[in-house]
Amino acid sequence: MANDGKWEITKEFETEIVETRVVQVEVVSSEETRRLLVDRPVSWIALAGFMGTGKSRIGWELSRRLSLTFIDTDKVIERVSCMRIGDIFEYYGEATFREYESEVVRRTLRLDEVVISTGGGTVMRPQNREMLKSRGPVIVLTASPETIYLRTRRSQRPLLQVANPIEKIYELLETRKEAYGDVAAFHVSTDNRHSSDVVEEIVEKLWLWQEQQANGPKGSLE
């Protein structure tokens, strides 16, 4: 990141993607290699949803289930900028962070055979929603405010550094409800569920979504 707050994403983004692919290849087993021969409903998937709904965990497991590469947009921003998300908010402000976020989303459209985990507020920008929907299915993960708080209370989430974080979660969820609904191919709840069950539900719904896109009117399953 430059001193004036401008952030240039050039070869750093492509380097991040290559490094992610290398790491994932290094950890796969012979069983994972066998899965390369298994049909998958789609080869580009985005996950959206509020913080604490499980996008990173589910995204990683879904990528292994479908033999895809997992890309976390927040991690890409942190690695390319050499700053934590919280520090970007503190020193440059949320608006600047959202600009970086949109640029990373734009770059992910060029990729294939990936699962993209987006930040909780990514879809608040209409341009981000349109970009994501134009490329492939966007799955919105959901959880109750209480579950979200339990999952995030020990982390330094910039938007939850308030006196009453649960009230703030309710407020933000209501603010983002329409945007999540607009971008979603379908919703999947992660409340009180094992991650493997969530992944299997996603895969089943992806097959239904793919069939709908091929044979019927485009749009959401819901």
Instruction: Render 76-89 in DSSP notation, one character per residue.
Output: HHHHHHTS-HHHHH
Closest CA to 13 of 85, 109, 157: 109
pLDDT for res 159:
62
Q: Is the pTM of this model over 0.85?
A: no
pLDDT for res 39:
81
CA distance 90 to 50: 21
pLDDT for res 24:
45
129: exposed, middle or buried (Cβ count in 10 Å: 0-12, 13-18, 19+):
buried
Average pLDDT over residues 10-29: 49
Tell me the average pLDDT of the chain. Answer: 85
Give percent above pLDDT 90 in the chain: 63
pLDDT interval class at 220 (50, 70, 90): confident
Checking if the pLDDT of 10 tops 80, the result is no
Average pLDDT over residues 43-59: 96
CA distance 59 to 45: 9
Q: Domain 41-215 belongs to what topology?
A: Rossmann fold (3.40.50)
pLDDT for 64-79, tens place per residue? 999 999 999 999 999 9
CA distance 96 to 101: 9
- DSSP label at 192? T
Give the 3-state DSSP-derived string for 116-167, with helices as H, strands as E and coil as C. EECCCCHHHCHHHHHHHHHHCCEEEEECCHHHHHHHHCCCCCHHHCCCCHHH
- The HSE-up count of residue 169 (CA atoms within 13 Å, CB side) is 21
